[in-house]
Structure 1
């Protein structure tokens, strides 16, 4: 195998390892509107990342599927909300902060029907993050890219995501280091203060006991 023939294999390997995709399939049992039990799927996503959530809902009667996408940051950002999902729906968005993205689904049973396990709908949920969320087929058609150029463009996006992730880890490590240094500094001053207090308390006890014994004429 020549050096040039290994390039596509290396590209394919890097793309396979680096892409971030979360796919899950499950049955969501219907519950009355006054006893909702959301099913949530979470994934950590860094700031400024493109995310595409694809929800495929199976056939089911007397039921309504609702979806809500939020994060667990202090701002509690909401990225999308859809009611009465039928078939397939896509919800693209770009994250506003480093946080866990939660996709919560509810299956609401219509009024007049009693809860029963037979009332359920199959959910096929895919969460594409970063390079995997980009529609490269449309990009290829728009820019008339060759297959190798398209793979290189995709690899460029993946490498950029890796660089951004490393930068995020570097910032996080710097924050943790600053926190550790601040904690160590506070512990040092607390220890010194404790020593001064103990020395002062010991000196006061000696002085007090000396005065006490002198008053009792036990010592000169």
Structure 2
């Protein structure tokens, strides 16, 4: 009975961690060299990362939203200009480092006055959270409880690995 309660607590805690990564941002438009708005995410070596972006606006509305993803070593993982609607980026980290996800919103010539802003919903998933568990469940014919246990097991391994990294540096 105690084991079941403990397992439920861990699953609840990990679900809360996963929910905490969804962010909502407002990126104001600027006519000349807009300053970037950046977020930083720490990722382990060889971890898969999935960044999902959902923006408002449309092409031709006078704003050009751009995104760049780089790690702390200077490696560029993605550079996308004129993002509108839904956009997803997936990559595998080449090393343990911090990743910067930066956005700029450039106001095009001919658009002046008014308050030009792009709203962004950003979801960052790394490691076990970034895996396609539905595909794994189908391919291996797993029960939902078995999928949950595998997910929890991988998340615990990732937390343990991060703690080892923190205590050895």
- Shorter-chain TM-score category? 0.7 to 0.9
1:183-194 equivalences under 5 Å are none
Q: Is the 8 A contact 2:33 2:106 kept in 1?
A: no
CA distance in 1, matches of 2:47, 2:63: 33
Determine if the alignment matches structure 1 residue 65 to structure 2 residue 73.
no
Equivalents in 2 of 1:87, 1:56: separation in Å? 5
| Equivalent runs, 1:40-119 vs 2, <5 Å | 40-60=38-58, 61-73=61-73, 76-114=74-112, 116-119=113-116
Unaligned runs of 5+ in 2: none
Give, in angstroms, the shift of residue 171 of structure 1. Answer: 3.0
Deviations 1:131-182 (A, max 9, x none): 111121222122221011101110121122123213323431xxxxxxxxxx
- Normalising by structure 1, what TM-score? 0.67
Greater relative contact order (Cα < 8 A, sep 6+): 2
Match of 1:166 among 163, 166, 169: 163
Given the alignment of the two structures, is residue 27 of structure 1 paired with residue 20 of structure 2, yes or no? no
RMSD: 2.2
Higher helix share: 1
Q: Which has the larger radius of gyration?
A: 1
Q: Is contact 1:48–1:95 with CA below 8 Å preserved after alignment?
A: yes
Scaled by the length of structure 2, the TM-score of the pair is 0.86
Q: CA deviation at 1:83?
A: 1.5
